[in-house]
Amino acid sequence: MLETRALNVRFGGMRVVKDVSLTFAAGQVTGLIGPNGAGKTTLFDCVTGFVKAHTGTVLVDGRPLRRLAPHLVAAAGVARTFQTPRMFDSLTTLENLVVAGAPASSLSSFLTTFRARHHRSLVDLLTTRAREQAAFVGLTEVRENRADALSGGQRKLLEIGRALMREPKVLLLDEPVAGVNPVLARQIAATIRQVAERGVAVGVIEHNMEFVMANCTHVYVMAQGSELASGAADDVRRRPEVLEAYLGGHQ
Ligand SMILES: Nc1ncnc2c1ncn2[C@@H]1O[C@H](COP(=O)(O)OP(=O)(O)OP(=O)(O)O)[C@@H](O)[C@H]1O
């Protein structure tokens, strides 16, 4: 569903992502792990058009994306979340979901005319979808609460719900359970598995190995910008080169 081919990212003279070719398959949760600074987030940033690729190709459904710009990547069906959730703190859970479902090209006008009459039917439609999405991610009870009143884990769930409002084919999650209490982490994991069961290709960067072991069917390991290993989660984590990378052998 999502593929990178020989992707390279440079920051100044530093190669941060080096010839990385990964596949995120439909209906699967694919893990992307590796020590701090390995280039994982930069890879997601590049795939979603937030940083520029030096060379390489990103394909969605086998078709190369001609230009990697965030709105074009989103329009191709790729959604993402960030390490620190990005949302509108002064809006409620439901409003945040509604806004996330608005067509990207008209987002600013949509925001300014949020309550205007000629947007009524779109708002009604999006509100219905937002209620369904709030229920799907388990946030019905707090759907009228402001986003800044939610717990860290609830904000992670809201961010996933926001990403799902555009019905993506690919969902990339950057550390979805980092700093989240175990109860909400299980809820997040269950939500992610359900998203994959719907046929979405889910890619997850996560340092929590317990989460990776339990939820990822396939895992890629990055170290110092390169792909170091890949395979089944349990197999990959036993490999000497992976252990060495985590212990600092590749620094
Ligand atoms: N905007 C930037 N400008 C310059 N260097 C950057 C920038 N963003 C990241 N880097 C560098 O690129 C390298 C890869 O960083 P990146 O955040 O992608 O790693 P990561 O694997 O996601 O790490 P972590 O697990 O700690 O989030 C690091 O050396 C980092 O310092």
Structure token pair of residue 195: 């998203």
What is the best residue among 4, 42, 44, 206 to mutate for testing ligand 1's pocket, by most ligand atoms within 8 Å of CB? 42
| CATH pick for 1-77+169-250 out of 3.30.360.10, 3.40.50.300, 3.40.30.10, 3.30.565.10 | 3.40.50.300
CB atoms within 10 A of CB 181: 12
Contact 134, 140 (CB under 8 A): yes
CATH 3.40.50.300-classified regions of the chain: 1-77+169-250
> What span, in angstroms and rounded, lies between the C-alpha atoms of 234 and 153?
26
Residue 129 has pLDDT above 50, yes or no: yes
* Highest mean pLDDT, choosing among 32-36, 71-75, 199-203: 199-203
Determine the distance separating the centroid of ligand 1 and the alpha carbon of 37, expressed in angstroms: 5
Grade residue 165 by pLDDT with cuts at 50, 70 and 90.
Answer: very high
Residue 109 has pLDDT above 50, yes or no: yes
Grade residue 251 by pLDDT with cuts at 50, 70 and 90.
Answer: very low
The per-residue pLDDT of the chain, averaged, comes to: 90
Global pTM reads: 0.90
Question: What number is the average pLDDT over the span 62-83?
Answer: 90
ipTM reported for the complex, 2 dp: 0.93
> What span, in angstroms and rounded, lies between the C-alpha atoms of 192 and 36?
23
State percent of the chain over pLDDT 90.
74
Lining ligand 1 with CB less than 6 A are: 11, 16, 34, 36-42
**Helical (H) or strand (E) element with 204:** strand 201-205
CA-based nearest residue to 126, from 139, 138, 111: 111
Residue 120 has pLDDT above 70, yes or no: no
Determine the distance separating the centroid of ligand 1 and the alpha carbon of 52, expressed in angstroms: 14
Grade residue 80 by pLDDT with cuts at 50, 70 and 90.
Answer: very high
**Helical (H) or strand (E) element with 160:** helix 152-164
